[in-house]
Amino acid sequence: MLQHPPARQRAVDTLPGPYLLFLGDTTEPGYAKTAYGLRDWAPERCIGEFRCEGATVTTGLRVLTPAQAVAAGARSLVIGVANPGGHIPEAWLDSLVLALEAGLDIVSGMHVRLGTISLLRNTAAGFGRSLIDVRQPPASIKVASGHRRPGKRLLTVGTDCALGKKYTALALARAFTQRGIDADFRASGQTGIMIAGGGIPMDAVVSDFAAGAAELLSPDAAPDHWDVIEGQGSLFHPAYAGVSLALLHGSQPDVVVVCHQPGRERVLGHPAYAVPSIEDTLALNLQLGGRTNPGIRCGGVSLNTSQLDASGAERLLASESDRLGYAVADPVRGGQAFERLVTDCLA
């Protein structure tokens, strides 16, 4: 009898690549942030995309069937969707089975463990494929101590989910390093973990230990070392505020950068709730963050201006900087505004 292979966690540098990015039947771009993140920050590991019927979201990569992807060199299919609750819809199963039959392993950052789905488990066993879950926290997390740790820390916080906290943290960590600063990007979600090669999926940690996980994510460091920590959710989010608060308390940031998407008026997936203002978001993060780091301050604001053209974005960044009194930049666009943000964060 064939033994069922367990779904398991792996270091990202051992994940079987290149990847075929799976978008399911997704119609909301905000839920495809894993696929977008890998496309933008690990393009050398992405060979194409695969979608179910009805999907309207695309990464812009070439569309391939699993068999075509294998012929082109792909070794695994990565589920590129982070939907509410992290579940795997039944409508995806035929496509995932097709990938296993074609010779691809499956890599998932969903809450649902791949090995708990009997169809996937049995198919993987029959074809000798692996089911790999990335969204698994370490087993040795302790309750947060609240003790201050040496080193410097920056946390990206947001007015909502899926609007640029990960991109901002990655861009700032890279910019710090380019300026000769000893810095690390600290991933707190499945996509960041896949990009960085390590981290802790904060939303998979038992709530009592979540602030302790944030302490573990950013341990003691040299006084001049910076940890740039990927934020999650929003303190105003009706579902995910607990994750945001645990990260804020446990990471004890010296600096926060507020991330926002202009034009987004309702909370993603929760349209009954309005997106809070940048000012209210900053004030609440400074108030609650001051509990574990009384010296917390704002380094600036990151705006996701992907819906604007270059000239419109430039005008908005300048006007918001004048209005708020902070450096305001779009890290993806870079430029002088972003350089000022970097400088102010390091000040």
Is 54 part of a structural domain of the chain? yes
183 and 82 part of one domain = no
Is 181 part of a structural domain of the chain? yes
124 and 26 part of one domain = yes
Is 144 part of a structural domain of the chain? no
120 and 159 part of one domain = no
51 and 129 part of one domain = yes
185 and 110 part of one domain = no
190 and 43 part of one domain = no
179 and 252 part of one domain = yes
Is 140 part of a structural domain of the chain? no
The Cα–Cα gap between 22 and 240 comes to 25
Is 4 part of a structural domain of the chain? no
CA distances from 191 to 110, 129, 300, 339 (A): 10, 22, 24, 25
Is 145 part of a structural domain of the chain? no
Last residue of a domain, one of 74, 98, 133: 133
106 and 183 part of one domain = no
Buried b (16+ CB within 10 A) or exposed e, 321-332: beebebbbbbbb
95 and 163 part of one domain = no
116 and 157 part of one domain = no
228 and 106 part of one domain = no
The Cα–Cα gap between 291 and 281 comes to 16
Is 141 part of a structural domain of the chain? no
326 and 232 part of one domain = yes
Last residue of a domain, one of 64, 99, 133: 133
Write out the chain's pLDDT in tens, 347 residues: 222 333 333 444 568 999 999 999 999 998 998 999 999 999 999 999 999 999 999 999 999 999 999 999 999 999 999 888 888 999 999 999 999 999 999 999 999 999 999 999 999 999 999 999 998 899 889 999 999 999 999 999 999 999 999 999 999 999 999 999 999 999 999 999 999 888 999 999 999 999 999 999 999 999 999 999 999 999 999 999 999 999 999 999 999 999 999 999 999 989 999 999 999 999 999 999 999 999 999 999 999 999 999 999 999 999 999 999 999 999 999 999 999 999 999 99
> How many domains, the chain?
2
The Cα–Cα gap between 213 and 200 comes to 7
Any idea what the CATH number is for the domain that residue 313 is in?
3.40.50.300
Rg of the chain (C-alpha set): 20
Buried b (16+ CB within 10 A) or exposed e, 65-88: ebebbbeeebbbbbbbbbbeebeb
What does the pLDDT look like over 126-160, one tens digit per residue?
999 999 999 889 988 999 999 999 999 999 999 99
Any idea what the CATH number is for the domain that residue 21 is in?
3.40.50.720
Domain that holds residue 56: 12-133
